[in-house]
A and B are shown apart, each in its own frame.
Chain A
Amino acid sequence: MSTAQILFLIFSAVVVAAAVMVVLSRRIMRAALWLVLALFGVALIFALLDASFFAVVQVLVYVGAIATLLIFAIMLTRGVMDDSKAQLNRGWPFALLVCLGLFGGLVYILSQWNRFNSAAPALPQDAYDLTLFGLALTSPDGYLVAFEAASVLLLAAMVGAIYLALEKRGN
């Protein structure tokens, strides 16, 4: 077994264990911290794949922005910090259904894939060139539509946030 494989097994064990702990933790704040660990582990797996840009963006966006936002939301919501409440709400069968569906789909797709024992192909020389990535996002032949759609979505979210936060004049 190569070093990369051993590291991959360690990192994925950390990710899976942390993900299980997200669900099993009784305190929601601890669940959020476990989620941070799980997302960080995913960043390590990206780094293992030599995808340094995605590794760093994973940390920046998920650990830096989303997890911080999540923790703030938890801390500012009344009454979710105590661990006396039930862990499940009424919707749990549906959640279970969706999870099983997703898991089944992933297992099905992986079972169709027959190259588990083949070595990873060598990356081309320009694989680390961020300029190509930037051009792919902004060229019409690349992912321009998806990129702009994401921008519009973020803009809509921002407008919505401002509308919610704006003080109503007159009352």
Chain B
Amino acid sequence: MMDSNMCQASKSFDSETAEADGSYEEDHEQEIANAEFGEADELKPVDSGANSQLWITRNSSHADFEDDLENINISNFFHRVDSDQIIYQSKKRRLKLVGKYVMGDLLGEGSYGKVKEMLDSETLCRRAVKILKQRKLRRIPNGEQNVQREIKLLRKLNHQNVIKLFDELHNYEKQKMYLIMEFCVGSLQTMLDSTPDKKFPQWQAHGYFLQLIEGLEYLHSMRIIHKDIKPGNLLLSLENQLKISDLGVAETIDLFAKDDTCFIGQGSPAFQPPEIANGLEFFPGFKVDIWSSGVTLYNITTGQYPFEGDNIYRLFESIGKGEFTIPSEIQEPLRGLLIGMLEKDPYSRFSLQQIKRHSWCTRQPPSEGLPKVPVPPLRGDVWHSLTVLPYLIDHYYDEPLEDMNSEDDGSRHEYITERQLNEMDERRKQRDQTFVVAENSNGNAQSSSSSSKKSSRWKKTISCMSFRTIPGCKQS
């Protein structure tokens, strides 16, 4: 019944929806069904290299690209549709491919754009994709340069403690860039935030710190100064391996430079060394990373910052003096290591070699029965299971495995009218009242067999479909 309705509704719109059909994506503003500008979403794996710079430079020179509206053909935009013909598109777990990668769920969001999980359909490796929108990037000072620099650096790096960049794809129509990177489950910062006192037990911090030093030694041997070491930029892989990430403000020293002198200080204020806080004209670059690693170590073992201030001036004033206290619960040898790394004078500050030989590093601290701080679950899933899987199941096992209990059910029906929507809402309310839905909240991770059983049960009791979210469909 519902199905045939649906068919009619969508049939009458066939002509207009054809293009939009391909370009549907829930976070996109251009979901107006009858608009002409939605291009087919198939992203050809563009031969990245030369073109990658193209879209950034080409458009930054044409600064007239300011708004999406300018892209839109005005006559199409004001195309009139009768109100009974307005259709909604249900949020649908539809398989989406970008190049050879299958799109999964959102992992996180940064100022540059979203990070989603992906599955490489050729190697079946889990990946994370950083989706950069040029529009957002242009609003960030030096955003584009930083991204270009980061890509250039990451391409030549290969170390187990530095995040790897595998691939780079472009969608010129949507002004998007996809950076395919190693899959990580979270940063040290997200882990700290999930604990009451915002710190790790020493034995756990010890493991991360050693990996940080390994990765840093590699970066320095490649003549790279990271300049933005902090818990938020230290990610963890599924195997609990630390990955230094975000080389957006990193600086490479010239191959023939006599020393590591640098002139520009960038990065997060609370992790900046006194030489930058005091505005020195030049300073030894590698010691900047030593300092911020010291602040990081201080932070992850005490839950506090060595230097604080209400605003950046106060903060820099406090850092500039270089005076700090270490909580009394921190004993030797960690105390000595922190003092050595947070030495005000960069020339007498510890070197990586000294850190590696320090007795806190050479000895694994006893666990003292303190439990390990886990990586916080992603949307309730402590195992961080593959989020691409439900999409694949939906795509390849259409009807029988459809999970009526999940929020994404009804996904086969793509377009519905407002009247149908209201009906369904109504019915869902009724259903929610009659049934106490005491089902597994983790619907996505359900095994296919159990979900198929459930769906048949549901189908007997109520022959309806339900959904919760409607994406931003605009009326035209």
Do A and B make up one complex? no
